[in-house]
Structure 1
Amino acid sequence: MRFLISTAFVMTMAPPALAQDRSAGEDAVVLEDVVVTADRMGSFGADLVQVGTFRNARVVDVPLTINVVPNELLRAQAASGLFDALRNTAGVSRAQLNGSAYDNVAIRGILVENRTSYRLNGVLPTVNLIDLPIENKDRVEVLKGVGALYYGYAPPSGIVNMVTKRPTRDLTEVTASVSEHGAAYAAADVSRRITDRFGLRVNGAAGLLETGVARVDGQRFMAAAAADWQISDAITARVDVEHVNKDITETAAIQLPSASGGRIVLPPIADPRANLGGKNLRYAASATDVLGRVDVRLSRQVALTVEAGQAVTMRDRDFSQLESADFRPGANYGNGTLRVFRTRDQKYRNRILRAEVAGAFATGPIIHNIIAGINSTWRFQNGRNGTALTVAQNYFDPRDVQVAAPTVFTTAPITVRDRGAYVTDRAVLGPVELMVGARYSDYRSRAVSTVGIASGFERDRWTPSIAAVVKPVRNISLYATYLEGLEEGGTAPIAAANSVQVLEPAVSRQYEAGVKAEALAGVTLQVAGFRIIRPFAFLDPSDNVFKLAGRSRYQGIEGSLTGEVTRHLSIYASGQYLDARVRNATPVALIGKRPENTPEWTGSLYAEYRVPALPGLAIGGGGYYVGDRAANALNQAFVDGYTTYSASLRYTAPVGGKPLTFQINADNLTDERYWSAAGNTLLGVGLPRQVKVTTRIAL
């Protein structure tokens, strides 16, 4: 009852577009429809965003840091996974794993929650435990920081939003690629206008996977469909369905050595082509996401949106980690133990239902843009966890190990219900905009540990948000924002003594101020300073228990420059300085330490030059830098920073009146050896160089 009463009062932040309609003979505020599929076609830049309540807002008008990775950049880089897109944005690093099976990603040093923070079309919480398909995506958006106002419980790392391609003109496009390691891939993109009011777009892809790592192979398949139906002039409907399946050898992670005298001596970086596990230690997963949306124009000033969807991910996993390796010279040099954790029939299911009303009206000279909505999310996960088994392995001369099947399995089901209601008002008076919003959240979770101990949490709380934007001219925004968010304390990793236990929810707070500008026609500049205070959780090496230890503070400066600098030069650049520290904690030895896997400096740059003298030829390249990171919460060791380089050459020419593109891309061009990930007492080794040849033709 309390929840239902609250829905009448609660609010969020940021509006659909609004406009003055003078056709009626007087100024009347109306909601303006914006078609984001027309946003800067063939560009490295973007004008509009589609994440959260900022949907259809201009990038320069959003009072938070947001990076949009458009389809043209993904094509230029021959991106094959979500991390290929995210690496272009500042503050992004891998965490815990090296990405051979899927990617754990941290933004601003904070882990992006795999079950809540990856969204399809700004709404459906997909499960990032498989390479989420990007073949059917028009763009990837990263909303940095607290997103709980719209999305409920989520860490303040940010929201990763994947926007699907919509049915547009008739199109048939076929893509094929091969890599130097023997990977092969083919994809098709078909769009048709069935009638004037109904369109359908279908994407499909299949490939053989080879990463350049010994005894690793696999396959991947995806299929997706997007349908748009204009039922009447006032009602439109959209449906998205996507399915992806992946089966690959998962290479082993490396456990941190034990500390001696308060310090940890890291092992030499393992050969990136070596497989410390076994070929038959597999990662087999599939995901099916379904999302429907109906928009109803109730009047010229009011619109209703209703959305519902489900995301289901299934996986069997043989996760392994090499531990207790001996790095002292002698007969046992490199000998260690490979510990294997087997999970079977693991299921993750997210469901969401959302209804939202947007309205625009004026009170005197002030234009108001109101959004009010309610949403409910249900999450469930469970699986059979096998008893860990061990086998001997050598760090420098690994063999194809065979590990017996476990005979004992345990389950650890988790259920979560997160309901919310929100409302926001963006009041516009000349060059000044004030946004005020609040959310009411009603959160309930229940978890059962692998040893049968039940735990649960119930929280209901209001969280406010406020932002002020000053626009001295249309293309420049100065802003300041304060937000509060709610997040789960974290989930214990599978190797912890309290495996998969969900920690207590907590409040995070964010302050941000910045400037955004369209520096040139087609170029967007963003610079912001931010400060985040959030709960701090870590895996305590003294008892191997994942626990809340206190609070940590993240503050820094971030900037980006994206778009077309000249007619022939496109650029996508970003950088971030981050000062992160634990502010209070138990044990006190953690105070003042840098949170694990948190780089002070990150940066990325990718540019493409279209040669005027040779129409159709484009030369591209760039670099990605991640600074040194603490290997554990006690800062007993730091992994070195690294820079990887990419290069590309693509040529497009008409063949039979249709464009044919031939391109070559190289990632990790210098074959750098580096620690790609740290955290939860694990280390990941970066993958070796990959050269890929791609052809694409529109039929």
Structure 2
Amino acid sequence: MTFNLKYSVLACAVLQAFAPLAQAQQLDGVASVVVTGSRWVASDRASIGGFTDAPLLDTPASITAISSTQMLDLSIRNVTDAARFDASVGDAYNAVGYAEQFSIRGFALDNASSYRKDGIAISADTQIPLENKERIEVLRGLAGLQAGVAAPGGMVNFVTKRPTSTSLRSALVEVSERGTLHGAIDLGGRFEDRRFGYRINAAADKLQSYVRGADGERQFVSGAFDWQITPDALLQLDLDHQHRSQITAPGYQLLRNEVLPTGVSPKTLLNDQPWTRPVDTDSSNVGLRFEYRLNPDWTLTANANKHWFKRDDYTAFPYGCSNEGDGFYPGYCSNGDYDVYDYQSVGERKTPWGAQAMLQGRFATGAVRHALTVGASVSERHDSYGEYVYDYAGYSNIWNNQAVAPAPGTPSTGPVMERRNDVERALFVQDVATLTERLTLHTGLRYVKLKRDELEDIEQGWVHSKDSFVLPSVAMVYKPARDWSVYGSLSHGLQHGGIAEMGTANEDAVLPPSRSKQVEVGLKGIVNNAVMVSAAAFDIRQGLEYVNAANSFVRAGQQRHRGVEVAAQGKLDAGLNYSLSLMALDAKQTGTGDAGVEGKRVTNVPELRSTAWVEYAVAALPGLKVDALWQYAGSKAFDPANRAIVPGYHVAALGGSYALRVGGVSTILRARVDNVFDKFYWRDVTQSLGGYLLPGAPRTFRVSAQFDF
């Protein structure tokens, strides 16, 4: 069934794409060429900065918004592709075949709370599909007012595609890497009764990763529908489901837990064993939104989303060295040997849901105009899993893979049961007061109540905790000119405490929630109606969580991230578009009382990261565009004690597209080469599970064709 569904979608995309082309060529005989006017212009609105779509120029926060059109133009298939265009976003143990994980401003995002679908938290424990997303919004900095619990670096919001007012028919086919095939269709419009609309998206992939052997498959389908009940009442419904099955590619540990491995290949699969199985994930969403306009100034909105996630996790997991002296745990042997463990966790389930209601309106008090939002939200999350299997099977080598027999016996995970549940309730209010034509005051407050139930173990039973927090936010925006704004903001954020990982002395212990604080000043503007520029300086502080010398996971002292962001994107002339982004960041560990980490750099945080993208429309051949991308990331610390420093890297990419019309069908052919010079580099590191490094992708290719008719 899975095989048939995958190839049915691929075949549908191909047939839908090429059937009209063949017919058009028979009728018209000659292909015609059309000049396209597409260009890189950043989306100028986003909802992630507050509680409704608002111009980025007037929002006192650092926000990036990438539209679905830009995703197509830049061949963005996943969030990893999108992150390359924002220097403030980095990878955080983003392993092939597993969940995409990122950091913003040097803080790793929380997969449970930092990723949102239409403002409601969803699990990010698998790659989030983009085929049904109208926009990716990235908020850099604290999101306490907007979201309550979220990592201090910010959050990512995915805005769902909605029905179109006119008929939409689009198909995409792509070939990449070692024969990866991708097909997608996008259908939208109104029914005969135009009060009702639809948007259907489907996609399928045959995955053959650049990591040889980390192969798999994916299928995705979604539907979005709306009903304009009355001119003032709109009801929206969306549903989606994704199945993904792929062998995951684990990272590398330090040799002797002190030296970076050398001479390794990013194409090597450390999980390459005869008994290796893919990680299977299923994820689904059902979203509902109702909007009612009470009068021209006041609107009532309610929305909800239910998310289901299931994973069967299998890995021939590389960890430690038992073949040298007393061994290294973590760490690989001097000669590259590493222990192989049979890891299994079957039947993991996560079922978050959330709902929010808001009353929004405008009024005046004397000369002061107000835009008021008052609302309430509730979210709940249930995590179920069994006792995992983690059995020693043998050893292999990073340069010369050794096949080992599976662990003896027939290991299986224990019974799956609910182990943790979280409930978050909140009341919030925000007032945007226009004091003068140039000066606006943003004030907000969110009251959050948290409840967590945790099953420590079968014998000891459940541990219960309750907390409440008040999260204030205040900002001032001054507009010296119509297209320029200067802002300053103070805000508080909130995040759940971390969970002690496998192998620590207090394994599975959960730290209490903690508060974070941020100060930010920024500048935004539009130059000559063609270039959008922004700059921000920030100072973020939160408690430092790490594994100390006693092998206990603790919170001690704080990590302080002080940085500057600069960005510009727009059009230099009729044929030249560009996007530039830079972040300089000083991230230090202070107040720990631990000489081993005090004053050291925070792990996986480059001091400088930048990205530049340029696109040129070739005047001599209308419809042809070529582009180049350059990324730079400075060195970063591997561990809290800074015993190993991972070197920085430069990576370049080239791309091109050709737009034409064949008959009545708009066609865009695209090609892209990533890591043009096939440079080896360590893309990101993590302290999770003892500390791992992940190499960046080698030179990879992709070609695609998009058909709109």
| Superposition TM-score, scaled by structure 2 size | 0.88
Q: Is residue 564 of structure 2 the alignment partner of residue 523 of structure 1?
A: no
What is the one-letter code of the residue matched to 1:406? P
Partner of residue 392, structure 1: 395
Aligned pair in 2 of structure 1 residues 327, 624: CA closer, same or farther (>3 Å)? farther
Partner of residue 31, structure 2: none
What is the one-letter code of the residue matched to 1:61? D
Within 1, Cα distance between the matches of 2:509 and 2:285? 26
Within 2, Cα distance between the matches of 1:683 and 1:538? 17
Secondary structure at the residue paired with 1:73?
Answer: helix
Q: Is residue 181 of structure 2 the alignment partner of residue 184 of structure 1?
A: yes
Shift of 1:418: 0.7
Partner of residue 231, structure 1: 229
- Which of 76, 79, 84 does residue 76 from structure 2 map onto? 79
Aligned pair in 2 of structure 1 residues 400, 179: CA closer, same or farther (>3 Å)? farther
Aligned pair in 2 of structure 1 residues 627, 112: CA closer, same or farther (>3 Å)? same
Partner of residue 376, structure 2: 374
Matches within 5 A, 1:344-359: 344-359=346-361
- Which of 275, 282, 287 does residue 269 from structure 2 map onto? 275
Partner of residue 465, structure 1: 473
Partner of residue 14, structure 2: none
Q: Deviations over 1:130-163 (max 9, x none)?
A: 1110111122111011101121111111110111
Shift of 1:180: 4.1
Shift of 1:402: 4.7
Within 2, Cα distance between the matches of 1:498 and 1:227? 48
Shift of 1:55: 2.4
Matches within 5 A, 1:97-496: 97-121=94-118, 123-168=119-164, 169-194=166-191, 195-258=193-256, 264-268=258-262, 270-278=264-272, 280-319=276-315, 320-324=317-321, 333-390=335-392, 391-404=394-407, 405-407=410-412, 409=414, 413-428=419-434, 429-449=436-456, 454-496=462-504
Secondary structure at the residue paired with 1:338?
Answer: strand
What is the one-letter code of the residue matched to 2:235? A
Within 2, Cα distance between the matches of 1:650 and 1:125? 36
> Alpha carbon RMSD of aligned pairs, Å?
2.1
Within 2, Cα distance between the matches of 1:175 and 1:475? 37
Partner of residue 700, structure 2: 690
What is the one-letter code of the residue matched to 1:417? V
Within 2, Cα distance between the matches of 1:518 and 1:355? 34
Aligned pair in 2 of structure 1 residues 676, 406: CA closer, same or farther (>3 Å)? farther
Aligned pair in 2 of structure 1 residues 327, 462: CA closer, same or farther (>3 Å)? same
CA contact (8 A) 2:97 2:214 kept: no
- Which of 497, 507, 518 does residue 510 from structure 1 map onto? 518
- In structure 1, list runs of 5 or more residues that go unmatched: 1-39
Aligned pair in 2 of structure 1 residues 518, 276: CA closer, same or farther (>3 Å)? same
Within 2, Cα distance between the matches of 1:172 and 1:541? 59
CA contact (8 A) 2:172 2:706 kept: yes
Number of residue pairs aligned between Structure 1 and Structure 2: 652
Secondary structure at the residue paired with 1:231?
Answer: strand
Within 1, Cα distance between the matches of 2:334 and 2:145? 55
What is the one-letter code of the residue matched to 1:247? S
What is the one-letter code of the residue matched to 2:510? V
What is the one-letter code of the residue matched to 1:357? L
| Superposition TM-score, scaled by structure 1 size | 0.89
Q: Deviations over 1:112-132 (max 9, x none)?
A: 1111111112x2212111111
CA contact (8 A) 1:446 1:456 kept: yes
CA contact (8 A) 2:336 2:399 kept: yes
Shift of 1:432: 0.2
Aligned pair in 2 of structure 1 residues 548, 341: CA closer, same or farther (>3 Å)? farther
What is the one-letter code of the residue matched to 1:689? R
Partner of residue 544, structure 2: 536
What is the one-letter code of the residue matched to 1:696? Q
Partner of residue 21, structure 1: none
CA contact (8 A) 1:322 1:393 kept: no
What is the one-letter code of the residue matched to 2:385? G
Within 1, Cα distance between the matches of 2:655 and 2:405? 40
Aligned pair in 2 of structure 1 residues 502, 564: CA closer, same or farther (>3 Å)? farther
Within 2, Cα distance between the matches of 1:400 and 1:433? 66
Segments of 4+ in structure 1 off by > 6 A? 325-328
Shift of 1:646: 1.5
- Asked which structure has the greater RCO (Cα within 8 Å, sep 6+), the reply is 1
Q: Deviations over 1:483-540 (max 9, x none)?
A: 0111112233345454444321011000000100012314211100000010111133
What is the one-letter code of the residue matched to 2:127? D
Shift of 1:654: 0.3
